[in-house]
Chain A
Amino acid sequence: MEEKKSKLSILTNGLIKENPVLVLLLGCCSVLATSSDGINAAGMGLAFSVVMILSNVVIAAVRKIIPDNVRIPCFIVIIAGFVTVVQLLIKAFAPALDKSLGLFIPLIVVNCIILGRAEMFASKNGIFDSLLDGIGMGIGYTCVLVIMGLIREFISAGTLFTHQILPESIPGVGIMSLPPGGFFTFALLVAAVNYFTRDKSIKVRDFGEEDAAIIEDIRAQQAEQKAKAAAAAKAKAEAEKAAAAAKAAKPVKAETEEKGE
């Protein structure tokens, strides 16, 4: 029973608690770009989920063979391989979708969510758990994408999955299917999540904290290296000075020794 519960929690983790888009705020580019209507959003969500699940499973399967210090390039190659497979399949069987998603299918490779899950979950857990995690993350991503797509499609054209809902006499707000509408809808969704989780998360989240932390980290490392180099240079200079002094002292010493003889 205990076992089963934990498996279920792995699956639902990606759906709600660690929803990759709304809670972890990863992979914003593809979310904003491909959610202009419901069908695009669903197609992108499906393509993403397939890559996510397959790469999670394969990475979990080979995690013990891959040497630790080349793991990131290996993960990238595995992910890129699956992205290529999905890209070719979409090109062959859904050319219209390929045209509207365009650049964003190959760009699944650099989607932070997939690499992030590979690093955080699949490289540490078994195949089955990674499969569940991949499914959970895929569904979580797809749900957010489709919800955003439907909101934008409904307001901009009065349709849902291209079925006319509002009478055509009501003009749509075209801006919602354009880029500003994407930012706007995403902002409202994140605000809604903040509102419903306000008791649990007291901290105000904003972009840039992690990047700032990374930059600080690298700066600190650089300063440390510089200090080390300076210390080494100083030590070297001192050693040289000492050596020079010794050299200067030596002839004198030798002379005195000669004199002594």
Chain B
Amino acid sequence: MGVVAIIISMILVNNYVFSQFLGICPFLGVSKKLDSAVGMGGAVIFVMVLATAVTWPIQQLLNKFEIGYLQTVVFILVIAALVQLIEMMLKKYMVSLYNALGVYLPLITTNCAVLGVCIANIDANYTYIQSLANSFGAAVGFTLALILFAGVRSTKLVNQDGVPKAFRGVPLTLLSSAILSLSFMGFSGMFS
């Protein structure tokens, strides 16, 4: 599959949040305000692409020594260390970027979408370029979902009054994401 096709299909058709259920926790957690949604999205794009760039060669190394079963252990440690490293580097060398994204970096280690995309790339037997495209598309799709949902949540429509008491808060948030997910189903079938 071509690089462009992979990116578009990851953004719209196989959107990580709405059709694969990866990264739901940050999706629900950080989508309260639009500015934090944008910041989190930027940080996720940055980390996901870098994590793939690092873990793909590591998997080749593991395969070479026939210890591919260590994948989960190695990947999670590499990603955790990578996020720490990125945070330190940004703090030291790119202060403006750190001020924009730094707050969200500690929240990313627990984001299952990052580990998910690294393993999914290996499972799909993508080449290095395809893997990077896949991660980029997944992260952009995640950002799109986050920003859309932040828009939905900040409107009066979703805000509380007139809603039965048991449905206020969490259930309402989940119901609105169900509707958003339903609308994303309209894209399925764009690529077969």
Query: Do A and B truly interact?
Result: yes
Taking chain A's interface residues, is the majority helix, strand, or loop, or is none over half, making it mixed?
A: helix
Answer yes or no: B119 CB below 8 A from chain A CBs. yes
Closest chain A CB from B165 CB (angstroms): 7
In the bound complex, do residue A206 and residue B170 qualify as a contact, i.e. CB atoms below 8 Å apart? yes
Q: Are B178 and A77 in contact (CB under 8 A)?
A: no
The reply to whether the CB of B123 lies closer than 8 angstroms to some CB of chain A is yes
The CA-CA distance from A106 to B76 in the complex, in Å, is: 10
Interface 1/0 per residue, A170-197 and B, CB below 8 Å: 0000010011111110111011101100
Let me know if B116 and A208 touch, CB within 8 A. Answer: no
Contacting pair B170 A198 (CB below 8 A) = no
Residue of B at shortest CB range from A83?
B72
Query: Out of A88, A102, A194, which one reaches B171, CB within 8 Å?
Result: A194
Contacts of A28 on B, CB cut-off 8 Å?
24-25, 28
- Please, which residues of chain B bring their CB within 8 A of the CB of A215? 30, 36, 103-104, 107
The count of chain B contact residues (Cβ–Cβ below 8 Å) is 56
For the complex formed, measure the closest distance between the CB of B55 and the CB atoms of chain A, giving whole angstroms. 12
Whether A183 pairs with B181 at a CB distance below 8 angstroms is yes
Give chain B residues whose Cβ lies under 8 Å from the Cβ of A103. 22, 116, 119-120, 123
Contact of B76 among A110, A187, A198 (CB under 8 A): A110
Is the beta-carbon distance between B170 and A190 smaller than 8 angstroms?
A: yes
Minimum CB–CB distance from B33 to chain A (whole Å) comes to 8
Q: Is the CB of A180 within 8 A of B181?
A: yes
A-B interface pairs (CB < 8 A), number:
158
What string of 1s and 0s marks CB contacts (under 8 Å) between B47-80 and chain A? 0000000000000000000000111110011001
Contact B170 A207 (CB under 8 A): yes
Q: How large is the interface on A (under 10, 10 to 19, 20 to 34, 35 or more residues)?
A: 35 or more
Q: Given that A175-B182, A179-B181, A180-B181 are contacting pairs, would A25 and B170 also be in contact in the complex, using a CB cutoff of 8 Å?
A: yes
Q: Is B177 an interface residue (CB 8 A)?
A: yes
Verify B181–A208 contact, CB threshold 8 A.
Answer: no
Q: Does B26 contact A (CB under 8 A)?
A: yes
Closest Cβ of chain B to A66, distance in Å, is: 16
> Are B102 and A187 interface neighbours, CB within 8 A?
no
A206 touches B173 (CB 8 A): yes
- Tell me the bound Cα distance from A137 to B81 in angstroms: 29
- List which B1-36 residues lie within 8 A (CB) of chain A: 18-26, 28-33, 36
Q: Which of the listed residues A80, A179, A194 has the most CB atoms from chain B within 10 Å of its own CB?
A: A179
Beyond A87-B72, A109-B76, 20 additional pairs, beta carbon < 8 A: A73-B77, A81-B73, A84-B69, A84-B70, A84-B73, A103-B123, A106-B71, A107-B115, A107-B116, A110-B112, A175-B182, A179-B21, A180-B181, A184-B174, A184-B175, A191-B171, A204-B168, A208-B29, A214-B107, A222-B99
Top 9 A-B pairs, shortest CB-CB distance: A183-B178, A187-B174, A33-B21, A211-B29, A195-B166, A207-B28, A191-B171, A206-B169, A208-B32
